[in-house]
Structure 1
Amino acid sequence: MLLHEKSAIFERADPYAVSDYVNQHLGMHSIRMPRNRHATASLSHRKFASVDLCRIRYGGQARITSPALESIFHLQLQLKGSSLWCSRGVEQRLQPGDLLMINPDDPVDLTYGQDCEKLIIKLPTSLLAACCEEQRWNLPREGVRFTRRLHRLEDLQDFMRLVDLICLEAESDDNGLQTQQHYTRIVASKLLSKVPNNIRREAPIPQAVPFEQLIQYIDEHLKEDPGIDTLAALAKVSQRSVYALFERHLNCTPKQYVRDRKLDRVHACLSDPSCHVRSVTEIALDYGFMHLSRFSESYKARFGELPSETLRRQSR
């Protein structure tokens, strides 16, 4: 389908009026046509979230130039006729079924043939950058750049079927902005997957473990005395981030939390007759309290009595 009469903006119009519209909606350029032209131009256009879809014909030979598109990409599909693309002194003729990928910093020098008709898909650089962030791909400092410009339609059939669907959806009256944004994210992802580019697809960065899972690990491994390095490795964050997590959630350090949980476990055992604790020293050492006097002080500060007093009361 690739847009039809419902999206028509110009039909049998002045090419320079069409060019002015393109400058407003698709990217800045200059146009030159023969003075004795008898051309009638046409243009269909749809905005679909952050993507623009445009079917254009100038109706005569026209040279389109631009220093660069700056913040947008153009994917141009040759639908009918031919056009001539000049890049760094090399000329290449585009026939029906050829796709041209133009980067934001590529100079544009295209000559439309008499019967040339194109579909232009305009994608903002921000859309592709957001796709890289969502996929957790490594975005180069210069931004996304496609390393191969010319393609054949048959090489990108999956992508073009998606474009066909997008054009159909763009002309539908029953989809909202959220649906459109969903489709455009798929378009960006598919384009980056199918067209060679400078993105480094490294292994996804592991997601940080939820704080509750970190707490559960500590409770299950109290006797192993989990330290800050172990917790940072488990949480897949830096040690500094672990400290920040405990400060934000519990207003204490990881070491303080581990110590208090050990004291709670010791207190629970000393208070429970079914634990069969033989001595305070035994259970203190079992939980890694090597300095017994310091352990007793911490225990009394937390529970208001010495551990021996708790044990004695439990034994009555």
Structure 2
Amino acid sequence: MMQAQLLSQRSRVFDHADPHAVSGYVNQHVGNHCILMPRAGQPLASLDHRKFASLDLCRISYGGSVRVTSGALEDIYHLQVLLRGNCLWRGHGQEHYFAPGELLLINPDDPVDLTYSADCEKFILKVPTRLFESVCDEQRWRYPGQGVRFVENRYQLNELEGFVNLLAMICQEAEATEQIPRVQEHYTQIIVSKMLSLMKTNVSRECLGSPTATFDVIADYIAQNLKRDIDSEELARQASMSLRSLYGLFERNAGVTPKNYIRQKRLERINACLSDPTCNVRNVTEVAMDYGFLHLGRFSDSYRKQFGELPSDTLKRRL
């Protein structure tokens, strides 16, 4: 059993209820899923739930050996703490029985396949993807182009310093008589920052403005944001340097201005896409506009100068 209190009877929504009613509520507030009930018996489910700023806190038990599946959570992360019983997780060709005190992290694109034991009870924290983006932005960490991904999905709670106490504190605040939005938002930022600090992710916590920031760091930022409208001012802000210093950095490392470097990299990405039979391209215009080339005549001219042929010729050659 967990010593920290993660939600109490004060947050009770269902008590010894029909599991399908509880599942319908979970679909509405916590994440899309399907449940498969045992053929025999009449399990009774219980659920506690609180909204906390943009988070959802949930404590759930189905009262039977229920299988929970979902294609993907899409724009949310699930942090699930096992409180009682066990829960079989299947994914990535592996399976693991979670025991009390273990934590499971589910990425937005991970399929969900969980089987609860009859006595299983778990705490679920639902976190929207945009929160991770805003915390990375605030901390000036490099937000990955494909979004934050938790590389490891299993943890022992006692190995995550202070984390369970933080969860308990958030639950206590969520159940407080007086709800203070600013306090809730502050705690939300803390919990997401702690998740990024304590758990293994694809986020580089090296700040772009740190002394170790190099041309490679800025080049990586450009590569991850090629479809966005990036200008020199934004790069200078990201690297915490003056425009003059930024131009000097590009001159030394690439021999071109930041603007020309970005154009070269966009053309290279388009060339790779037009050359690759597995890349889904309907026509040259579509891919050019996707990378911000709105004047197709100038685009074709720049492409020909860089690769010695027209983009339409590259596309024809792969067909």
Q: Say whether 1:236 aligns with 2:241.
A: yes
Match of 1:109 among 101, 107, 113: 113
Residue 238 of structure 1: how far off its partner (Å): 1.0
1:240 and 1:163 mapped to 2: Cα distance?
44
- TM-superposition CA deviations, 1:245-273 (whole Å, max 9, x none): xxxxxxxxxxxxxxxxxxxxxxxxxxxxx
Residue 201 of structure 1: how far off its partner (Å): 1.4
Q: Say whether 1:12 aligns with 2:16.
A: yes
Conserved? CA contact 2:60–2:121, under 8 Å: yes
Q: Which of structures 1 and 2 has the bigger CA Rg?
A: 1
Q: Say whether 1:90 aligns with 2:89.
A: no
The one-letter code sitting in structure 2 at the alignment partner of 1:97 is G
TM norm structure 2: 0.65
The one-letter code sitting in structure 1 at the alignment partner of 2:12 is A
Match of 2:49 among 45, 61, 66: 45
1:157 and 1:82 mapped to 2: Cα distance?
23
The one-letter code sitting in structure 2 at the alignment partner of 1:150 is R
1:118 and 1:168 mapped to 2: Cα distance?
17
Structure 1 residues 48-59: aligned runs within 5 Å: 48-59=52-63
1:106 and 1:92 mapped to 2: Cα distance?
15
The 3-state SS of whatever aligns with 2:160 is helix
1:83 and 1:181 mapped to 2: Cα distance?
31
Runs (5+) with no aligned partner, structure 1: 207-231, 242-316
1:87 and 1:22 mapped to 2: Cα distance?
21
State which drifts further: 123-132 or 150-159. 150-159
Structure 1 residues 189-208: aligned runs within 5 Å: 189-205=193-209
Q: Which residue of 1 aligns with 2:168?
A: 164
1:86 and 1:60 mapped to 2: Cα distance?
18
Stretches of 4+ aligned residues off by more than 3 angstroms: none
The one-letter code sitting in structure 1 at the alignment partner of 2:92 is R
- TM-superposition CA deviations, 1:116-150 (whole Å, max 9, x none): 00000000000111100000000111100000000
2:132 and 2:6 mapped to 1: Cα distance?
22
Runs (5+) with no aligned partner, structure 2: 211-235, 247-319
- TM-superposition CA deviations, 1:137-166 (whole Å, max 9, x none): 001111000000001111114111111100
Residue 240 of structure 1: how far off its partner (Å): 11
Q: Say whether 1:27 aligns with 2:31.
A: yes
Identity %: 51
Conserved? CA contact 2:157–2:163, under 8 Å: no
1:39 and 1:157 mapped to 2: Cα distance?
36
The 3-state SS of whatever aligns with 1:42 is strand
1:130 and 1:190 mapped to 2: Cα distance?
14
The 3-state SS of whatever aligns with 1:122 is strand
The 3-state SS of whatever aligns with 2:142 is coil
Match of 2:158 among 154, 171, 192: 154
- TM-superposition CA deviations, 1:196-234 (whole Å, max 9, x none): 00001123527xxxxxxxxxxxxxxxxxxxxxxxxx99x
Q: Which residue of 2 aligns with 1:131?
A: 135
Residue 34 of structure 1: how far off its partner (Å): 1.4
1:69 and 1:175 mapped to 2: Cα distance?
28
- The RMSD of aligned alpha carbons is 2.0
- TM-superposition CA deviations, 1:41-99 (whole Å, max 9, x none): 00000000001100000000100001100000000000000010001231110111110
Residue 9 of structure 1: how far off its partner (Å): 0.2
Q: Which residue of 1 aligns with 2:75?
A: 71
Residue 35 of structure 1: how far off its partner (Å): 2.5
The one-letter code sitting in structure 2 at the alignment partner of 1:43 is L
The 3-state SS of whatever aligns with 2:162 is helix
Higher helix share: 1
The 3-state SS of whatever aligns with 2:82 is strand
1:192 and 1:157 mapped to 2: Cα distance?
13
The one-letter code sitting in structure 2 at the alignment partner of 1:102 is I
State which drifts further: 71-80 or 87-96. 87-96
